[in-house]
Amino acid sequence: MSHKNQLSRREFLKLSTLALGGAALTGRQSARSIFKGLNLLQEDTPTFPEGQLLGRMCVGEPGANVPMMSEPSAYANEVRKVYFDEVFQWNREVIADQVDGYKINQKWVETPEGYIYSDYLQKVRHQPQVPLGELPINDNGERGMWVEITTPYAGLELTKPQEQYQYWIKATIRPRIYYSQVFWAFDIRRHPDTGVVQYCLMQKFGAWTTDTYWVNADICRPVTTEEIAPIHPDAENKFIKVDIRYQTLSCYEGDEEVYFAQVTTGGWLEEEARWATPLGVHTIWRKSLSIHMSAGAAVGDYDIPGIAWSTFFDNNGAAFHSTFWHNYFGSGPRSHGCVNCRPEDAKWIYRWTQPDVPYDPGDIFIQGLNKSTQVEVIAS
């Protein structure tokens, strides 16, 4: 199908968006961090259109770029480069005009300016929240709650010198948190200069330093106990099958498949052994509502906070978990050995697998046999 006859519509959409302030909702220059003492000011927390479906260029790191094309095809004319963290209006997904034999996924995202290959865009929204007056109290008399980030990205205000933080903060001049990440909020304040209500966030599990940062409360959605309630808690013979070759996951209760998802795994060939997803039958041994994952600071390694809905099934650290740094699901092995999932899929798996996890602390180690769900990883 050719989209040349839609040029006038695209031009109309472009002009309409430009009238609102720019076709790209953010750019490298429009959301630059400004330093003041220890803090990264809120100029790095832009206001996005509320409720609209948006796409954030999410692959790579600051400075990385991908092409925007005039048509949904790798063989079309390039409109311009799209840079890391640019955010666009997500009009719709379309199938490529011409099949690209080098890609499994043939979907492109239509934006007001042109088309971007869908693997490069995280699907996001800006969903403002009503800040709480105070944080809830748990059974131990301590205040705190889990919160999910509900804007494409936001800047941080640091509570100590930047060089004292873990790598993901100290290695960049513009540390940010992203849509669908989950953190523990343990303090609340009104900003001394602006009066904006803010939560102080931290990573309860996985981090090797106690890093804290202030974030505007209106982009933090409280995670409730009801939404993490177990799914089908009385079902028997639960198990998960992951197929690395087809990049799929299926959840079974006995012989009945009750859930299916496209995923992104590690490889399984010898040359990919360092980042392989382990084949065979495994047993879930840990579940964490949110965890910091890291593996050094060398090329190819990673340091990522706020990874939500993590369900570990291999003693070397392989887990099902929410992923916000790509949209490769179903497109082939690309992970460091974990099973990367869309946030909604990771959350379903976290709730469905046994045993369930208390809201607080939100982390559990499973001991003993036959107490947790089994996982089989195959390369069919």
* Domain CATH number, residue 12: 2.30.30.40
**Per the domain annotation, does 44 fall within a domain?**
no
Q: Are 241 and 342 part of one and the same domain?
A: yes
Report the mean per-residue pLDDT for the chain: 87
* 3-state class percentages of the chain: helix first, strand second, coil last, to nearest 5: 15, 35, 50
DSSP state of 128: -
Q: Are 191 and 241 part of one and the same domain?
A: no
CA nearest to 297, candidates 166, 137, 160, 185: 166
pLDDT category of residue 16 using cuts at 50, 70 and 90: very low
Average pLDDT (242-262) is 97
pTM exceeds 0.75: yes
How many domains, the chain?
A: 3
Q: Are 57 and 70 part of one and the same domain?
A: yes
| Burial group, residue 240, by CB count within 10 angstroms (0-12, 13-18, 19+) | buried
Residue 260 structure tokens? 């299916």
Which residue range(s) make up the domain with 174? 145-223
Question: Residue 9: is its pLDDT beyond 70?
Answer: no
Return the amino acid letter for 73.
Answer: S
pLDDT for the residue 28 = 44
pLDDT for the residue 17 = 37
Residue 349: partners with Cβ closer than 8 Å, 6 or more residues away: 240, 249, 251, 259, 309, 311, 320, 341
Q: Are 232 and 154 part of one and the same domain?
A: no
Residue 168 structure tokens? 């993901």
Average pLDDT (145-163) is 96
For the chain, give the longest Cα–Cα distance: 64
Cα–Cα–Cα angle for 371, 377, 378, nearest 5°? 145
pLDDT for the residue 272 = 55
pLDDT for the residue 43 = 59
Q: Are 251 and 361 part of one and the same domain?
A: yes
Taking a C-beta distance cutoff of 8 angstroms, is the pair 337, 317 a contact? yes
Q: If DSSP codes are grouped into helix, strand and coil, which group holds residue 54?
A: strand
**Per the domain annotation, does 156 fall within a domain?**
yes
Average pLDDT (112-129) is 97
Average pLDDT (234-244) is 96
Average pLDDT (113-125) is 98
Cα–Cα–Cα angle for 46, 211, 209, nearest 5°? 145
Residue 190: partners with Cβ closer than 8 Å, 6 or more residues away: 196, 197, 198
Q: What is the CA radius of gyration of the chain?
A: 21
CATH number, position 162: 2.30.30
Question: Residue 5: is its pLDDT beyond 60?
Answer: no
Final residue belonging to a domain, choices 208, 223, 238: 223
The Cα–Cα gap between 73 and 77 comes to: 9
Question: Residue 135: is its pLDDT beyond 80?
Answer: yes
pLDDT for the residue 299 = 44
**Per the domain annotation, does 38 fall within a domain?**
no
**Per the domain annotation, does 198 fall within a domain?**
yes
**Per the domain annotation, does 45 fall within a domain?**
no
**Per the domain annotation, does 41 fall within a domain?**
no
The Cα–Cα gap between 220 and 146 comes to: 9
pLDDT category of residue 29 using cuts at 50, 70 and 90: very low
Helices (H), 331-375: 343-352
Q: What is the pLDDT of residues 301-313, one digit of tens each?
A: 789 999 999 999 9
Return the amino acid letter for 77.
Answer: N
Phi and psi angles of residue 50, each rounded to the nearest 5 degrees, phi first: -80, 135
Q: Are 118 and 149 part of one and the same domain?
A: no
pLDDT for the residue 270 = 52
Q: Are 56 and 21 part of one and the same domain?
A: yes
What is the torsional sign of CA 331, 334, 338, 344? Answer: negative
Average pLDDT (348-371) is 91
What are the C-alpha distances in Å from 136 to residues 20, 141, 201, 215? 39, 9, 14, 18
Average pLDDT (292-302) is 70
pLDDT for the residue 348 = 98
pLDDT for the residue 368 = 74
pLDDT for the residue 46 = 83
The Cα–Cα gap between 109 and 68 comes to: 10
CA nearest to 212, candidates 156, 266, 255, 173: 156
Q: What is the pLDDT of residues 46-87, one digit of tens each?
A: 889 998 999 999 999 889 999 999 999 999 999 999 999 999
pLDDT for the residue 129 = 97
pLDDT for the residue 18 = 34
Final residue belonging to a domain, choices 195, 223, 251: 223
pLDDT for the residue 275 = 76
**Percent of the chain scoring above 70 in pLDDT:** 86
**Per the domain annotation, does 136 fall within a domain?**
no
Q: Are 343 and 313 part of one and the same domain?
A: yes
pLDDT category of residue 25 using cuts at 50, 70 and 90: confident
Residue 105 structure tokens? 């996924």
pLDDT for the residue 295 = 78
Q: What's the order of all strands across the beta sheet hosting 286-294?
A: 339-341, 319-322, 303-312, 286-294, 363-365
Residue 281: partners with Cβ closer than 8 Å, 6 or more residues away: 374, 375, 376
Q: Are 120 and 9 part of one and the same domain?
A: yes
What are the C-alpha distances in Å from 351 to residues 229, 288, 354, 365, 374? 6, 11, 8, 15, 15
What is the torsional sign of CA 265, 109, 106, 68? Answer: negative
Q: Are 256 and 332 part of one and the same domain?
A: yes
Final residue belonging to a domain, choices 173, 204, 223: 223
Q: Are 283 and 237 part of one and the same domain?
A: yes
pLDDT category of residue 154 using cuts at 50, 70 and 90: very high
Q: Are 291 and 351 part of one and the same domain?
A: yes
